[in-house]
Amino acid sequence: MNVLVDNFDVFAGGFWVTLQVCLLSTAGALLLGTGAAVLRISPIPPLRWMGTAYVTVIRNAPLTVIFFFVAFGLPALGSNAAFLDIPGLNKVFSRLGIDLPYFRFAILALSVYTGAFVCEALRSGVNAVAAGQAEAARALGLTFTQNLRYVILPQAWKAAVVPLGTVLIAMIKNSALAGFFGLSGDLSQAAQDLAIVKALPVVPVFIGISIGFLVMTVPLGLLLDRVERRRAVAR
């Protein structure tokens, strides 16, 4: 316990950085996943092929490989992911505006990887919407875009809440890889500093890291259980 108490500031700082990465990656994954889901159900074949190719390649590639290509491939191409330095957002998440590209690289890798799973979870929600809903919308004269926006996607999101929550929990745990690809200050990097640089006992260090991840994942899991129970009662 002394290790946890004496180094509480290190664990707290790592938790804050990891939480920021997870929040921004969640937003990115939801945007990419929704876009890919729309492509996959598009009536235009080339768009469907694009969505299918993205999901097939990313979902079947190891996350380590995605991190490798983002963390080492983008610098080789002369990019530091500065497009994520979004005005206004960089005031809330100050690391977006600092020239520490590996923070942005971690967000990009997690967003791209998790977006493929978000797409499939959302597509399962689309399949759960009764076919008559879309037919009725077309009969009223709604275009494909209007049909998606006002009829299909709102219902699909509700049906896909629990699968999406499971995907996001997996993403939070996957964020532990970020520290091994250059991200400084997160929980996994804190573990390396404490266990290797300061030569502290490994077991207490990783107990502290585990507690940090549990603080993020357990409440989300409990919320999903509550949502599922309420739906079961409603049915």
Which residues contact residue 154 at a Cβ distance below 8 angstroms, ignoring those fewer than 6 apart?
none
Q: pLDDT exceeding 90 applies to what percent of the chain? A: 36
Q: pLDDT exceeding 70 applies to what percent of the chain? A: 97
Domains of the chain are 2-234 (1.10.3720.10)
Q: Is 41 helix (H, G, I), strand (E, B) or coil?
A: coil
147-158, pLDDT tens digit by residue?
888 888 888 888
Q: Which residue's structure tokens are 């699968």? A: 163
Band (pLDDT 50/70/90 cuts) for residue 113 is very high
Which of 66, 152, 76, 165 lies closest to 118, judged by CA?
165
User: pTM value?
Assistant: 0.89
CA distance 20 to 13: 11
- Among the residue ranges 20-24, 80-84, 196-200, the one predicted with the least confidence is 196-200
CA distance 46 to 52: 10
Which of 81, 88, 98, 93 lies closest to 24, judged by CA?
93
| Contact yes or no for 97/85 (Cβ under 8 A) | yes
CA distance 181 to 213: 19
The phi, psi pair for 56, rounded to 5°, reads -65, -45
- The pLDDT assigned to 235 comes to 64
CB contact burial 192-231 (16+ within 10 A = b; e otherwise)? ebbbeeeebeeebbeebbeebbeebbeeeeeebeeeeeee
